[in-house]
Amino acid sequence: MTVCRAHLALLAALVPLAAGCGAAGLRDTLSLDPVASAATKTQSVTSARVAFSGSFSGPWAGQRFGFEGSGVVDCPTGTGSMHFQFQFPPALSAKLGTSPSMDMIVQSKPGLVMYMHSPLFARVTPGAKPWLKMDLTKYAAKNGGDLGSLQQLNQTDPLQGLRYLTGASQSRELGYDRVRGVFTKHYALTVDLGRLAHGNARLQSALKQLRHVMGTKIPAEAWVDDNGFLRKLTFAFTLANTPDGPFRVHFSEELYDFGAKVSVQPPPASEVTDMTNLASHG
């Protein structure tokens, strides 16, 4: 497994993590599906903490990529932060020779800006300041991209999984569980990407490439509490059409501490290297 393939796996890992807050316009009314209804309702929270984990099994014999972490998002300010800890195959870990972790701070209002800090970056950008910055608003403007489509599937928002579940269909009860001590009803379901994008041209555009690698139906599970809020979600699917072959992906996320007081600030400018222009020039 090469470093480039590891980067591909990382990007794929961020897909389900990726404009969850206050996306009321995504679906005009609550769906009759109980999981879709819960996902829509949970998008109205002002803030939340999350804990997540996932894994990849790629086309490389005996190799597995994993990650876990936690984060927090504040919807009124459009800010969030996440910490990732990665588990690479032994050969790649030995080659990297550093701690596979990353911290990320996101600002999504009025544009979309990411700040990233990781020991891994020292190998790619030696001498850079501790934090790397990517202003995706500026990047899209310089490269003719559609920022609106990008923000439809903000891959750095810890509540993005809620957006996917608003496309839930055929949810069926599996029983009852407790999630972080909260009593919940457990469902199995299918996420219909076509249903998710119905009536939203920009979301249809954003999902086009995703549907190419994931297909149109995604199996998932969800846990909903007695107040109709989603407390846990899992996805398991295959990314079939990638340059290296099929990836089998599993992702799990727990949501808790709704309404928590959150203060997320970007790092000071003296500690930031802006990579936006460098990325624009390839």
Interval 79-88: pLDDT, tens: 889 999 988 8
Query: Hey, what amino acid is at 92?
Result: L
Report the DSSP pairing between strands 182-192 and 168-179. antiparallel
Distance CA 72, CA 17 (A): 12
**Within-domain flag for 261:** yes
For the record, the structure tokens of 90 come out as 């032994």
Q: How many CB atoms are located within 10 Å of the residue 261 CB?
A: 9
* Separation between Cα atoms, residue 220 and residue 1, nearest integer Å: 28
> Is residue 122 in some structural domain?
yes
Token digits for 220? 């998932």
Indicate whether 207 belongs to any domain.
no
The whole-number pLDDT of residue 209 equals 61
Q: Is 221 among the domain residues?
A: no
Summarize the confidence of residues 121-138 as an average pLDDT.
82
**Segment 165-170 mean pLDDT:** 79
**Residue 196 covered by a domain:** no
Q: Could you tell me whether strands 79-87 and 64-74 are parallel, antiparallel, or unpaired per DSSP bridges?
A: antiparallel
Residue 199: per-residue pLDDT: 58
Choice between 16 and 199, residue whose per-residue pLDDT is larger: 199
- Max avg pLDDT among 135-139, 178-182, 190-194: 178-182
pLDDT on residue 149: 47
Does residue 92 lie in a domain region?
yes
Distance CA 210, CA 152 (A): 12
pLDDT at 201: 63
Q: What's the confidence (pLDDT) of residue 161?
A: 66
pTM: 0.78
Quote the pLDDT of residue 151: 47
Domains of the chain: total: 1
* 89-117: average pLDDT: 82
pLDDT (average), residues 218-227: 92
Domain holding 272, by residue range, is 3-166+245-280
Q: 169, 158, 151: which is closest to 33 by C-alpha?
A: 169
Query: Of the ranges 13-27, 42-56, 92-106, 165-179, which one carries the lowest mean pLDDT score?
Result: 13-27
Tell me the mean pLDDT in the region 218-236.
Answer: 92
In a domain, 56, yes or no: yes
The better pLDDT of the pair 266, 140 is held by 266
Q: In what order do the strands lie in the sheet with 230-239?
A: 168-179, 182-192, 217-225, 230-239, 247-256, 47-57, 64-74, 79-87, 101-107, 113-117, 131-135, 272-274
Residue 171 in domain? no
Whether the Cβ atoms of residue 120 and residue 7 lie closer than 8 Å to each other: no
CB atoms within 10 A of CB 51: 16
